[in-house]
Amino acid sequence: MSIPECQKKLPGAFPGGQPLPEAVLWLLLTGKIPSKEQVDSLARELRSRATIPDAVKGEKFEKLGVEDQGSM
């Protein structure tokens, strides 16, 4: 599928907009065009897994001047 075809067929944040990254990921993983509901579900699942390991937190964050915000 070409980029223009993806832009037309994949769900975006709003009608006629660029495809959502989760829609592109779904297409790459499954080879199928996802529905908006499938994209929303995948986005929720990815957000639920978006944690920063303890080994990465702490000193590295302090050096950057970033406070631990917990799970996103």
| pLDDT per residue as tens digits for the range 13-46 | 988 889 999 999 999 999 999 999 999 999 999 9
Question: Of 31, 43, 30, 39, nearest to 11 (Cα)?
Answer: 39
| Residue 63, pLDDT above cutoff 80 | no
pLDDT at 45: 95
Average pLDDT for 35-63: 85
How far apart are alpha carbons 65 and 62 in whole angstroms? 5
Contact yes or no for 27/10 (Cβ under 8 A): yes
**Percentage of the chain modeled with pLDDT above 90:** 60
Kindly report the pTM of this predicted structure: 0.70
Domain boundaries, the chain: 3-64
pLDDT score recorded for residue 37? 96
